[in-house]
Structure 1
Amino acid sequence: MLLIITRTLRTWFAPTLSALLSPSLPFSLRWRLLLLQPLNLIAYSIQSLPYLFTRPFTAEYLTLPNRITLRILVFHPARNPSGKPRPLHLDIHGGSFLGGLPETNAPFCARLARETGALVIATTYRFAPVHPFPAAIDDVDAVLAHLRRHAADKYGADPDLITVSGDSAGGNLALATTRSLPAGAVKASVTFYASINLELSPGEKPGLEGGDPLRVIPYFARLEDLPRRMLLVVPKVDILVREQLEFAERLSGEIERDREGRYEGRRVEVLFVERGFHGYLGLPATVVGQELKDQAWDAGVKFIQDAHRQSGWHWPRSI
């Protein structure tokens, strides 16, 4: 219990602790982290207080081979009458790579587990500026590798039927981690106002000197290195609108121009939300109506369901 409380406090007060206990950070970053602390507390309260007494998930701490320990949420669906291994879904939260909680997308994850029968896991990752790129994608890659390795024995899931999702920075990581697996291994992705193009050249990206920029810039990724089916939920009021639409248009054009059957079965769809804005899915119902949220979540669940059916997984509606 003491360890859980300590970890919780470290998470909620991470900006302040990083500012005070990371002398290697320049002062220009440390004072900005202190200013971020009140916003951090407000955001975390909104995201976690609804699950204070009842939760559709169990929280666990996963220690990776690199000795990094990350908090994950495991959404267990209903009993599995088919006896077949379940699909495996990984969700990654947003937070501008500076913070965030896996509870951010808990309503979507819970619905996905309930309506598709998939084993859904939401993960966190290390944050900048204390842990600059590629720490975040390294962590997500390691989590995905762990889940695949133990999908059958620990989770009763199918390591070959994987889907992913994420919002904002998490959408970036969800698409980027696809490249850590063989082509076509990730059957589908759903991203909500994803950061597709980080607007920096590889040389300007911390930790990427001499590395592979496509690991964290899906905007330039090859179609074959991305999920086989992709749904981008794009709100109208968002500075990321253009890069998401351009990204989808480029990929859709490649599929349409394919005359050799290389991209057979691939799909790229966009749900454009006229009344949406960046981050709207994480706000309480008093601010954003449930109907507007359901529009995105229902589309995401249906998209993942279709990908499951294409891979031979069918989940009874009555469960």
Structure 2
Amino acid sequence: MSLLLSLFRPLYDSIFSTLPFRYRWRLFILQPLSLISASLTVTPWIFSRRYSVHWFPTRNGGSVRAIVFIPPKKEGDKRLRPLHLDMHGGAFIGGLAEYNARWCAKLSDETGAVVVSSMYRYAPKHTFPAAIDDIDDVVGYLFKNAEVKFGANPELFTVSGSSAGGNLALAACQQPACQHPSKTAVRASVTFYALIDLRLQPKEKPMPPGFPTIDPLRFLYPLFDAYPASARAENFENPRMNPIVADIKTLPDNMLLIIPSIDILLVEQLAFVERVKADIEAEGDDGRPRRVEGMVFEDCFHGWLELPSFFIREKTRMDAFGAGCTLIKEVHKKYGFDLAAV
């Protein structure tokens, strides 16, 4: 039932909510687009036994839905597994934990990590900081319970996210428990077409070469901007809203950004990579080897990784996911976990 409610939430809010009309009519039109997106990305996983569904409590007395991938263990392997948290995309206005199931399953299989894909509250009903508050609460819950509930080690913690989820992945690093020298510091992040600069409205984002002259989704821009709009002015330099301004001391030591070239988020991601590289160089050797890489995929577009193979070049997905898995495995080995070693 909760899955159905999530699938039809835009329609429900367009009819029964007290949101301004400028949002409600757009939510009504968004509903069929959401169903199409879900049918393409979620359908293969709905009846999968690859993951289990869990609900994590949040500070507002509610809870958020998450799916958890627990890798099988070889006989005699009693080690705690690394812990990974992923956040799906959806422009802060929707989506399901299953949106990133293909990535989460691959990551769990290849690295041996327990992978959690979490949902969060959505705009326009819930604006900043609702989504990041929920993710912070999920992180806190996992730190306290992951070992007992899932056999996962919160001291070997990594994150990932797509689009709005990429924003939340980096924003979650802003809580002290996720930063060096905490034992639960985020060791690495992998983001896919991350939305990391909410200081600009969608209509103000620079269009890269190859992007349509007229964005066919332009009429949805007010919805896409609903999460930060009301709080933008007072949070201009807040990295929980805008990870692009985060100090490198609050970011993971290892970061990979998967960046499609045909995306209005191209410029901000490249700028973030170059700024962090410059900060690392300026910081000098402080005993914390850091690295950040932006991996650009030419002729690919925002959200391409969630689509079925007949819509995209499958090699690009394998290359992107492979690079992410490689980084996570390298970090695991650095902190003493090697899946192959029993």
Identity %: 43
> What do you get for the CA RMSD once the two structures are aligned?
1.9
Q: Provide the C-alpha distance between the structure 1 equivalents of 2:287 and 2:281, rounded to a whole number of angstroms.
A: 9
1:242 aligns with 2:236: no
Letter in 1 for 2:318: D
Counterpart position of 1:66: 60
Q: Provide the C-alpha distance between the structure 2 equivalents of 1:132 and 1:263, rounded to a whole number of angstroms.
A: 39
Residues 64-103 of structure 1: CA distance to partner in whole angstroms, max 9, x if unpaired?
A: 3432221101001111544222110000000000001111
1:87 aligns with 2:82: yes
| Correspondence for 2:242 among 204, 217, 220 | 217
**1:233, CA displacement in angstroms?**
0.5
Letter in 2 for 1:257: A
Is the contact between residue 236 and residue 276 of structure 1 (CA under 8 Å) also seen in structure 2?
yes
Q: Which has the higher contact order (CA 8 A, sep 6+)?
A: 2
TM-score by length of 1: 0.92
Provide the secondary structure at the position in 2 that maps to 1:129: coil
Letter in 2 for 1:64: T
**1:253, CA displacement in angstroms?**
1.2
Segment of structure 1 superposing worse, 86-95 or 76-85: 76-85
Structure 2 residues not aligned, in runs of 5+? 202-227
Is the contact between residue 189 and residue 227 of structure 1 (CA under 8 Å) also seen in structure 2?
yes
Counterpart position of 1:298: 322
Is the contact between residue 77 and residue 113 of structure 1 (CA under 8 Å) also seen in structure 2?
yes
Letter in 1 for 2:8: F
Segment of structure 1 superposing worse, 175-184 or 127-136: 175-184
**1:267, CA displacement in angstroms?**
0.9
Correspondence 1:21-32 to 2 at 5 A: 21-23=16-18, 25-32=19-26
**1:200, CA displacement in angstroms?**
4.0
Counterpart position of 2:190: 190
Provide the secondary structure at the position in 2 that maps to 1:215: coil
Is the contact between residue 70 and residue 150 of structure 2 (CA under 8 Å) also seen in structure 1?
no
Q: Provide the C-alpha distance between the structure 1 equivalents of 2:315 and 2:187, rounded to a whole number of angstroms.
A: 28
Counterpart position of 2:309: 285
* Alignment length (residue pairs): 309
Structure 1 residues not aligned, in runs of 5+? none
Is the contact between residue 45 and residue 101 of structure 2 (CA under 8 Å) also seen in structure 1?
no
**1:61, CA displacement in angstroms?**
2.4
Provide the secondary structure at the position in 1 that maps to 2:174: helix
Letter in 1 for 2:33: L
Counterpart position of 2:51: 57
**1:254, CA displacement in angstroms?**
1.4
Provide the secondary structure at the position in 2 that maps to 1:175: helix
Is the contact between residue 51 and residue 70 of structure 2 (CA under 8 Å) also seen in structure 1?
yes
Counterpart position of 2:13: 18
Counterpart position of 1:227: 252
Q: Provide the C-alpha distance between the structure 1 equivalents of 2:60 and 2:340, rounded to a whole number of angstroms.
A: 40
| Correspondence for 2:295 among 268, 271, 275 | 271
